Structure 1
Amino acid sequence: MRRNTPFYTYIKRLKKFRFYHIIVYALLGLIMFALMYSNVTPENLQLSIGDKADRNLRAPQFTIDTEKTEEKRNEAAGAVEHVYVLDEEKAVQQVERIHIIIDSVETTKQEVAKLGEQEVLNEEGEIEIQQVDIPLEEQMAILQEKLTSKLPSDWRRDIQEEDLITLLNADFNQLSVLRNATITAVHNAMQQEILTVADRDDARKSFETEMRITSIPGDSENSIRNVGINIGKIAIIPNKFYDSKATQDERQAAKDAVEPVEIATGQLLVKEGETITRELHRQLEVAGLLNTNKSIFSYVGLALLIAIMLASLVYLFNGKEISSHNKNSYLTMYLIIFTITLLIMKVISLFQQFENAAQIGFIAPVAMGAMLTKMLINERTAVITSIIFGICGSIIYNEFPGTLNYSLGIYLLVSSVAGVLFLSQHNRRSTILQAGMFISLINVGMIISLLAIKNTNFFMMNGLLNLGTNITMAVGSGVVAAVLTIGLLPFFEAGFGMLSTMKLLELSNPNHPLLRKILMETPGTYHHSVMVANLAESACEAVGANGLLARVASYYHDIGKTKRPNYFIENQMGRENPHDKLPPQTSKNIIVAHATDGAEILRQHNMPKEIIDIAAEHHGTSLLKFFYHKAKEQNSEVEEQEYRYPGPKAQSKEAAIVGTADSIEAAVRSLNNPTPERIETIVKAIIKDRIQDEQYSECDITFKELELISQSFCETLQGIFHSRIEYPEAANKKVEGK
């Protein structure tokens, strides 16, 4: 597109519009809503009881049949019988009352004996104690008084007076035997569950049977034993009672145990040609297929989902500390990438209506959009975009309106993320096709895993055919995504100036905020960076690498030193070196941090990835020899690995050249008399040292190229540090000033 055309001028002005980003977000939302609108529109049928279904009718969504559920729960509650509880305390209570009766009789007998004692004179005139009989009525009165205060009224009513008289006439030994026998027999009988009158009568019979075999000394007529039987029968009462609360709890538990009657998504409700009965009509209504009201809930839900996805994009793009113009350019580019990807997905989904094409979505090259976003914007946005593609895909490829195709959504998400991750390691145009093959491999793995999760039998003919078809589409998805990425990438690079020559020249402008930051805060580092830029650019041009990229990257490669400028010798300006007072480990941490700090600063300012990488890689994993030897003097057990930069090593020729130029410039600058011979010695020594240290092992640079680079460095340095002619006037002044 010609940059002086009216259309281009209009677009350029539009991108400078204050609310341009709002327009882009609105367009993104409208595009997503328009392409997914039909996938959430509920289907409404006009069917009455008695009609015949013209096709198979399936539930469009998961639903709980509340009416059927409540009916089953009521049936379960009605099947629960009354709950009765056994009161074990009843036996203890009744035994205690038998104790009270016997204890009262014994106490009465003791009191009567004391009352019957009288003093009389015998024939010798001495006083003797004689026992006088106490009337039975008086004895009974004493006993009744004791029982009245200790026994309930029903017991006093049921105990016969004759039985009490018999007990009063029994001796203490007989009462003891009777007590033990009666209590034991009552306790045994009350161990039974006594609920009804029949249960009570059975317990009394077993009690009486046990008492009949009891023998009481001196009770020849068994009158005392019969008293025990009479009292025991009174003691045996029901010990099992109806528990209304427990019954209600059991019925509620039975209700809760009933699983809700579910209508699953895609469940076949009515077969083609089947007559609509009242029950089928009710199920169709519950499933929402007969709802003639134009509900807007599905559209509101879709709009809310789109709003959430847009909010994540707004957060991402607002977090970039770039100018409004650049941000609008990124947004425009993102809008185009996203729209193309979503349109491809929608077009492919139209083929789902054909027979045996339900899984056609597996061929969608969604990874294309993620890879373009990764290469043209950044990895973080690409990952979020992958998630959005997965969500949109689960809606676009759903089988029924309002449902989500989770399997396909996960597949598209993983496919997109796979492309992003591969390009994170190999962000070069030549590896895009390799990324496509990697995506195809991941897609195949996802297909197998998803089918296995669904318990597909791969050894049956249908399962094998389905597997082969899906794998073919999975491989095609990765390959097509790579081809489309390769085809579209140049248009975006040219149309949006992604790391073009103009972009690099813009970044090399001394008025750039970051370059001004380096100049103002670390003037020594700025001068050092300019010198490194001269060396790196010449060396790159000597071996056919991108010299402009190396120059611009050199300007920014030490920006991490702006965090702690005084700890780097070129910024100390003759001041005291703070490292003299620090332990070597602390000094090492400060020096090493400038590479990672610099990469982070550049990343925060949305600088091109190539420049960020060079800032992070320019020291590789090289050794800080000064602090290492200093630490070694203090502790001989110090490991060399502790005093190395964390890396990574240089991944490109430009990174390797900038890193080497950085070391050489610092070394030559420290020379008092940088002659050509000394310069050449230092250059070759540093390159040799980096070769031996394997700092070039991860980039595609050859020994021949290193030789050319070495020559370029020497020529450039000799031009910078060439000998100057001393003019006579200057020499005379120097003599006079001695």
Structure 2
Amino acid sequence: MGKRKSIDHQKWWQKIKDHRYIRFALFVVTGMITYLLMVSNVTPETIEIETGTIADQDIRSPITIENKAMTERLKDEAYESVGPVYTTRSHYATNQIERINQIFDTIRQVQREAKERKDEISDLEEEQGDAEDEEASSSDVEIEELTLEEQLERVRNIIADQTSEDISDETLLTLLETPASDLELAQETTTNAIYDVMSEDIHVDDVEDAKNQAERKVIISTVDPGLYRAMIELARFGITANYLLDEAATEEARQANVEAVDPVMIREGQLIVEEGQMITADIYNQLALVGLLEDHSTILPYFGLAILVILLMAMLAYFLSDVKTSLPANNTHLLMFVLIYSLTLVILKLVSLTNIIEIFGLTYIVPVAMGTMLITILLHSRVALFSSMVFAIIASVMFNAQSSGVMDYTHGVYIFFSSVGGVFFLSKSHRVIRILQSGIFVGILNVFVIAAILMVRNGQYGWFEIWFSFGFAALSGFLAAVLTLGLLPFFEAGFGVLSTTKLIELSNPNHPLMRKILLEAPGTYHHSVMVANLAEGACESVGANGLLARVGSYYHDLGKTKRPHFFIENQMKIDNPHDKISPQLSKTIIMAHPYDGAEMLKEYRMPKEFIDIAEQHHGTTLLKYFYHKAKQDSDTDIPESEFRYPGPKAQSREAAIVGIADCVEAAVRSMTKPTPDKIESLVKKIITDRLEDGQFDECDLTLKELNVIAKSICETLYGTFHSRIEYPDEASVKGEHKKAEKKGEK
């Protein structure tokens, strides 16, 4: 069998794989690849078009945006469409009547003052008597009567300035000369007329008509014409507009109408212009607004994509650094993940370009499940599940050619389910037949997803379109399985990945190293097979990799082939060579076999997991037999450290379990009459001794798992060393037959 070189054995990779910035560099490269493959999908589409030309195609909006200019125009129209708001001022009638009443009250007051003045003069004249000297008497009279002009002046001083200006002197003089009884009648008639007219709404433009109406209501025949004219003037004066513009209410109504205007939105996918339609200034502005014109291009999509890629890479880096797999510590496996991830994106990109063929549903043929299936087989199902979400997000951008927007969520959903389907079906087994079955499962799942998408869309689809979509979706699963089977050996060989398929291949008895053990150390071969049985069951009982433990056990004692006769299982019908050499030399020979085996495995480019098991299955345990023999042969104190394996201790659960199985198998084989109780006691003692000796300090086995391991090993041993019927040998059988014959003759 030829030796295979993985990337771990390449000098250039050995120099940089443990560099402090190599992980950061890998994620940067991954982000750059992702960005470059997606950038063309976010590049704004531009068209060459001018106002007044005829559109040669339907043009739809790639984004959703508000047409602010149109919104403002509609708001202005809504503002202007609301007319003035008028309100009835009911208190105006009361106010006007109070003004008329004030005039009449003032008239009465002035009339009383004039009468009082006249009465004072009369009383003064009576007191003087019949004075003979009239001139002297006249000079003694100091009080004079109020003339009409003075009375008029007094009235105007008392009533309001506006009222004084609007009422004529003739009307006021007429009222001053009117008797009290007629004045009362005039007041009542005038105020009633004003009240009747102002009970109705009076617009500013209708004031004159209202005054004429009030004039007509002042109908009275018992007064002289002068008083009648005065009453008409007062009635017309008392009429004013009471249905007036309410500026606050008008503004409030206009603002409410403006707020009711919804923003004018240009929706994603909205048809802006139809083929054959003339490009008007308004349409041109809309095309500019959505960024379809060359002179209105923007770099924002490129920054947005960069932010999206950075977020994806940050989440991916955090997850891969925290997940419990080989990825946080093994940069080789991280490089392999990056290659699978990049290869999947390249396939996504290539299939997305097939939209130019214009076959309905052709893009559903994308075999994205290949990426998650490879990650599941080569790394871990949890990594594949997380990758499914990343692939779905990226695919929604890459497959946006048939979408009016930047993202096509239909393909995103389809890619997610297709990717996850392969993970679920492969999570428990990685056999070749299982990969093919997984492809069939993914294909069926894809068909159901497409059916759901088509029904949710509720579009009008022909049967040819439906069957084409189903066929391409089913073919996607088959292609994913074929690509997975085709690429798997390259990744396994190139990165030294120990997959299930590779483990099964290495378990072949015809492998050169297996044949070497069988031919050169048959006892060791049998021992290794027994250890494999014990280790596999124990590993599976605690969730460790049972197949790795089994195949690793086949090779764990490969170093014994260098000096097979120094190991008891190979000493058949020969003397024990250790009886003729010193314990120190025996110790050196025995202790060398783990490291001799590791070197031989390295020469054959065997997986690192096998090398670790070979080196670590004895840990730093004490070689008790030769240690005690050396102490007996020596008079000086010998330290234990000289008879302890140099290690290292087991670093993985599989290595620790193989070490336990190795020790148990050798101990049980040396028992004369093993019974279940003896076996159980021996197994627990060996595990306890190793635990107390600190052999499990560097692996993550728990006390609970150690109990489960002990139980599993005991169950396997019970089946191996079960009791059998003792058959008599042939000589004894013949002797019994002869005795029976002699008795018959007698």
- TM-score, normalised to structure 1, is 0.54
Distance 1:166 1:443 in 2: 110
| Partner of residue 354 from structure 1, selected from 340, 353, 357 | 357
Once the two structures are superposed, residues 510-559 of structure 1 have per-residue CA deviations (whole angstroms, 9 ceiling, x without a partner) of: xxxxxxxxxxxxxxxxxxxxxxxxxxx999947x964334467599xxxx
Alignment of 1:86-165 (within 5 A): 86-89=86-89, 91-93=90-92, 95-103=94-102, 105-106=104-105, 109=108, 113=112, 116=115, 140-148=152-160, 155=166, 160-162=171-173, 164-165=175-176
Please give the alpha-carbon distance, in whole angstroms, between the structure 1 residues aligned to 2:304 and 2:259. 33
One-letter code aligned to 2:37 = L
Matched residue, 2:692: none
Contact 1:365 1:481 in 2 (8 A): yes
How far apart in 1 are the matches of 2:450 and 2:489? 32
* Superposition CA RMSD, Å: 5.6
User: Is structure 2 residue 201 aligned with structure 1 residue 201?
Assistant: no
CA apart distance, 1:342: 1.1
Q: Which amino acid aligns with 1:37?
A: V
CA distance in 2 between counterparts of 1:109 and 1:293 reads: 84
- How has the CA–CA distance of structure 1 residues 377 and 554 changed in structure 2, closer, same or farther, with 3 Å as cutoff? closer
Superimposed CA distance per residue, residues 646-675 of structure 1 (whole angstroms, 9 cap, x where no aligned partner) = xxxxxxxx9xx9xxxxxxxxxxxxxxxxx9
1:76 matched residue in structure 2: 77
Q: Secondary structure at the match of 1:80?
A: helix
- The corresponding residue for 2:63 is 62
Q: Offset at 1:293? A: 8.7
Q: Determine if contact 1:155/1:234 at 8 Å carries over to the other structure.
A: yes
TM-superposed deviation, 1:411: 2.3
Q: Distance in 1 between matches of 2:223 and 2:52?
A: 90
For 2:424 and 2:181, locate their aligned partners in 1 and report how far apart those are by CA, in whole Å: 105
**TM-score normalized by structure 2?**
0.54
- Superposed CA deviations along residues 132-167 of structure 1, whole A, max 9, x for unmatched, are 998655654554333137x55654569942564477
Alignment CA distance shift 1:501-1:249 (3 Å): same
CA contact (8 A) 1:73 1:258 kept: no
Measured against aligned partners, the alpha-carbon deviations of 1:311-341 in whole angstroms (never above 9, x if no partner) come to 2222323445888872524422321221122
Contact 1:48 1:276 in 2 (8 A): yes
1:184 aligns with 2:195: yes
Identity %: 25
Alpha-carbon distance between aligned partners in 2 of 1:167 and 1:485, rounded to the nearest angstrom = 122
How many angstroms does 1:19 deviate by?
Answer: 1.6
Structure 2 partner of 1:169: 180
Q: Is the 8 Å Cα contact of residues 102 and 175 (structure 1) preserved in structure 2?
A: no
Distance in 1 (CA, whole Å) between partners of 2:419 and 2:231 is: 90
Amino acid at match of 1:201: E
Instruction: Please list every run of 5 or more consecutive structure 1 residues that lacks an aligned counterpart in the other structure.
Output: 122-131, 504-536, 556-607, 609-653, 658-674, 681-706, 719-738
Please give the alpha-carbon distance, in whole angstroms, between the structure 1 residues aligned to 2:467 and 2:437: 23
- The equivalences for 1:405-424 within 5 A come to 405-412=407-414, 414-416=416-418, 418-419=420-421, 422=424
Give 2:30's aligned amino acid.
L
Given that 2:35 and 2:306 are in contact with CA atoms closer than 8 Å, whether structure 1 keeps it comes out as yes
Q: Tell me, in whole angstroms, the C-alpha distance in 2 between the residues paired with 1:452 and 1:552.
A: 43
> SS state of the match for residue 362, structure 1?
helix
Any conservation in 2 of the 1:383–1:420 contact (CA below 8 Å)? no
TM superposition shift of 1:237 = 3.2
Q: Provide the rounded CA distance (Å) in 1 between the counterparts of 2:545 and 2:8.
A: 38
Matched, 1:235 2:238: yes
Matches within 5 A, 1:470-619: 470-481=469-480, 484=483, 495=495, 497=497, 541=533, 546-550=537-541, 553=544
Does 1:312 find its partner at 2:315? Answer: yes
2:399 counterpart (397, 406, 415): 397
Matched residues, number: 515
Corresponding residue for 2:629?
none
Contact 1:370 1:385 in 2 (8 A): yes
Q: Deviations over 1:80-107 (max 9, x none)?
A: 3573232434x42453142133145336
For 2:228 and 2:402, locate their aligned partners in 1 and report how far apart those are by CA, in whole Å.
86
Q: Is the 8 A contact 1:51 1:275 kept in 2?
A: yes
- The equivalent residue for 1:260 is 264
The question of 1:22 aligning with 2:24 is answered: yes
CA contact (8 A) 2:450 2:470 kept: yes
- 1:356 deviates by 3.2
Q: In the aligned structure 1, how far is the partner of 2:455 from the partner of 2:177?
A: 88
Tell me the amino acid that sits aligned with residue 39 of structure 2: Y
Deviates more, 1:22-31 or 1:156-165: 156-165
Separation in 1, partners of 2:157, 2:46: 87
CA change 1:246–1:440 in 2 (3 A) is farther
Distance 1:347 1:264 in 2: 26
Structure 1 window deviating more from structure 2 (170-179 vs 343-352): it is 170-179
Give the AA of the match of 1:22: F
Unaligned runs of 5+ in 2: 124-143, 504-528, 547-608, 610-653, 658-674, 681-710, 723-746
Q: 1:394 to 1:101 in 2, by over 3 A?
A: same
Once the 2 structures are TM-superposed, how far is the Cα of residue 440 of structure 1 from its aligned partner? Answer: 5.0
Equivalent residue letter for 1:350: L
Task: Judge conservation of contact 1:24–1:335 (CA < 8 Å) in 2.
Answer: yes
**Contact 1:178–1:224 (CA<8 Å) still a contact in 2?**
no
Distance 1:286 1:473 in 2: 38
SS in 2 for 1:390: helix
Question: For the residues of structure 2 that align with 1:5 and 1:418, how far apart are their CA atoms?
Answer: 29
Q: Contact conserved, 1:447 with 1:471, CA < 8 A, in 2?
A: yes
Cα distance in 2 for residues equivalent to 1:486 and 1:377: 15
How far is the alpha carbon of 1:393 from its aligned partner? 1.6
SS at match of 1:84: coil
The 1:133–1:403 alpha-carbon spacing in structure 2 relative to 1, beyond 3 Å, is same
* SS of equivalent to 2:85: strand
Q: Distance in 2 between matches of 1:158 and 1:406?
A: 90
1:555-575 CA distances to partner (integer Å, 9 max, x unpaired)? 9xxxxxxxxxxxxxxxxxxxx
Amino acid at match of 1:39: N
CA distance in 1, matches of 2:290, 2:368: 33
Change (3 A) 1:354 1:148: same
Structure 2 residue identity aligned to 1:410? G
Q: 1:51 to 1:170 in 2, by over 3 A?
A: closer
- 1:259-278 equivalences in 2 (<5 Å): 259-260=263-264, 262=266, 264-265=268-269, 267=271, 269=273, 271=275
**Cα deviation code 1:6-30 (max 9, x no counterpart):** 8645434432222211221122122
Matched, 1:469 2:468: yes
8 A contact 2:60–2:404 mirrored in 1: no
SS at 1:240 equivalent = strand
